[in-house]
Amino acid sequence: MRIAYQVVGQGSFDLVFVPGFISNLDLHWEDEGYSRLLKRLSASSRLILFDKRGTGLSDRVDTRHLPSLETRMDDVRAVMDAAGSGRAAILGASEGAPMAMLFAATYPQRTRALVLYGGYAHFHRWVMPPERLEAFIETAETSWGTGATLPNFAPGRVDDSHFTQWWARFERLSASPTAAAALARMNADIDVRDMLGTIRVPTFLIHRRNDARVDPDASRFLARKIPGARLVEISGRDHPIWTGDVDRVADLIEEFLTGEPAVADVERVLAALLVTRIYDTAKLGDRMWSERSLHFQETWRLLVGRHGGRAAGTHAELMISRFDGPARAIRCAAALREAAQQIGVASAQGVHVGEIEMRGQPVGLTARVTMQLAAHAGRGDILASRLVADLAVGSGLHFVDAGRVSLDELDEPVPVVLATSEQHLEPACRPKAKSADPAALTARESEVVSLIADGKSNAAIAAELSLSEHTVKRHVANILLKLDLPSRAAAAAFSARHAGPDGP
């Protein structure tokens, strides 16, 4: 039996994360919330992650003979041995909590501390009564891999198509449908109520007040039964530890384990914000609009990432992203404008720079000003505050003055500029060659062309047509101009190609 594990960070103490229902070491890093949680936790610790047997990257188990909770708990010890950890803090989330409690009770000398998030001691009492379990297992089994279980865990993220897709992959890559049903049945047998009193390590409990999956009473019960345990209830209803306010959870864990409060919440940084909206939504039918806006939102995430920004969230129909510098934001906006056109919608965007809070969605004045700029922007426009243009000097971007805009909350109108399309020293693509039409030539010019095609010099042509050589030269120049040709030879070739019925 091989258990997949991963060690990240070089903090001063070891922290083992025991995941809930299912997990996949690879996939965690692809979700914004999950990777944020892991980065936060590994900043102060040496974080040891693993996939429980039967899930993720670990070996599969025989679904007819499922391992007991004790066996799975012992995998924690095996992983710690492999990672060279003699003593570690254990973080158990959801179904990982009973495992973590069992570990702490069995190996107190190897447990530095115990942190339980959204945990419980008895499945049927606090997660799901037996009669609802069968229905859940049936949904899980028949629609596994489609993300259908998401509403059971994170109802707040159901409308987030990006996350829904990730969740569906998470299901597919973490367990097979049979294994998922078997795991759910196995978890339903969990009852560790009798051993709570034997836990002798410092214990800290976190539970979201409106947790959609596990009744907060579960943690209140644990707090009463585990000697010296402390419970903090936080707001929120999404159950997975990596959804909702991840920073709040990480702050609490860090403070408990290090004894120091995490860095103050109000750390502000200078950032460039870009707000993108779909212009004139009324013209598209409802269905077409929702399809296209969904498509555009996905493109938005992709392009923002590609331009080094971070998709900071959506606010009704506004998409908010943040960048380290204004030039990046403008370049991303230009790319988005183009992408919108291809999708068949029009964009209107606002860009502004200012201080924002480092954590969570940008909500302060800077964000509100940017949103209003986006609201003022016309079809296809990238409307930026003058400040953006001033900071982007030397970036090669071009702006034109767009007057002043009065915004709520600001006493004075804000000077604004419009970002113009990228300027090239040479046209990005050659203007389309004028249709080289022999009919564009006068009768005399046609004569001259056919003589050129015969290989005659200007002097010879002049003699043949009884013109001065100077006039022939002018004819040749006009011909080349009209046909957009570079040389006499090209004109000769042209004449050969276009030898019409009455041609040369």
Partner 1 sequence: MLTKTGNVDGAAIKKAIEGRDGKLLSSFYTDDALVRVIDRNNPPSKPREIRGRAAISTFWDDICSRAMTHKVDTTVTEGNNLAFMQACAYPDGTKVYCAAMVELKNGRIARQTVVQAWDE
Residues of the shown chain interacting with partner 1 in the complex, contacts defined by CB under 8 A: 7, 9-14, 43-44, 81-88, 112
Minimum gap (Å) between residue 89 Cβ and partner 1: 10
Kindly tell me which of 84 and 197 has the beta carbon lying closer to partner 1: 84
- Residue positions counted in the chain: 504
Euclidean distance between CA atoms 97 and 213, whole angstroms? 14
Q: Distances in Å between the alpha carbon of 70 and those of 34, 73, 96, 99, 175? A: 27, 5, 12, 8, 20
The backbone torsions φ and ψ at residue 244, rounded to the nearest 5 degrees and listed phi first, read: 70, -150
> Are the CB atoms for 456 and 476 separated by under 8 Å?
no
Please identify, using beta-carbon distances, which residue of 44 and 94 lies nearer to partner 1: 44
Name the minimum Å distance from CB 11 to partner 1: 7
Query: In this structure, how many other beta carbons lie within 10 angstroms of the beta carbon of residue 71?
Result: 12
Per the structure block, which two tokens stand in for 145?
Answer: 């891999």
Q: What is the DSSP string of 88-140?
A: EEEEEETTHHHHHHHHHHH-GGGEEEEEEES--SBHHHHT--HHHHHHHHHHH
How far apart are alpha carbons 299 and 291 in whole angstroms?
13
Q: How far is the CB of 191 from partner 1 (least distance, A)?
A: 31
Nearer to partner 1 among residue 43 and residue 365 (C-beta): 43
Could you write out the three-class secondary structure of 194-259? HHHHHCCCCEEEEEECCCCCCCCHHHHHHHHHCCCCEEEEECCCCCCCCCCCHHHHHHHHHHHHHC
CB of 269 to partner 1, least distance (A): 16
User: CB of 257: closest distance to partner 1 in angstroms?
Assistant: 11
Pick 12 or 423: Cβ nearer partner 1: 12
Burial of 34 (0-12, 13-18, 19+ CB in 10 A): buried
Strands in 399-405's sheet, in edge-to-edge order, are 310-315, 318-323, 268-279, 346-357, 382-385, 414-419, 399-405
How near is the Cβ of 87 to partner 1 at its closest, in Å? Answer: 4
Backbone angles phi, psi at 378, to 5 degrees: -85, 180
14 versus 75: smaller Cβ distance to partner 1: 14
Closest distance between partner 1 and the C-beta of residue 80, in Å? 9
Q: Tell me whether residue 107 or residue 323 sits nearer to partner 1 (CB atom).
A: 107
End-to-end CA distance of the chain: 87
Q: For residues 46 and 207, which CB has a smaller minimum distance to partner 1 in the complex?
A: 46
Q: Which helix (H) or strand (E) holds 304?
A: helix 286-306
Least distance CB 82 / partner 1 (angstroms): 7
76 forms beta bridges with none
Smaller CB separation from partner 1, 82 or 496: 82
Supply the minimum distance, in Å, between the C-beta of residue 416 and partner 1. 38
**Nearest CB to partner 1, comparing residues 9 and 313:** 9
Q: Strand 5-8 vs strand 45-50: parallel, antiparallel, or unpaired?
A: antiparallel
Looking at the Cβ atoms of 9 and 380, the one nearer to partner 1 is 9
> Measured from the CB of residue 231, what is the shortest distance to partner 1 in angstroms?
24
Toward partner 1, which CB reaches closer, 87 or 230?
87
Q: Report in angstroms how near the CB of residue 23 gets to partner 1 at its nearest.
A: 20
Contact 420, 398 (CB under 8 A): yes
Residue 470 CA: distances (Å) to CA of 12, 236, 447: 90, 88, 16
Exposure string of 363-378, with b = 16+ CB inside 10 Å and e = fewer, is: eeebbbbbbbbbebbe
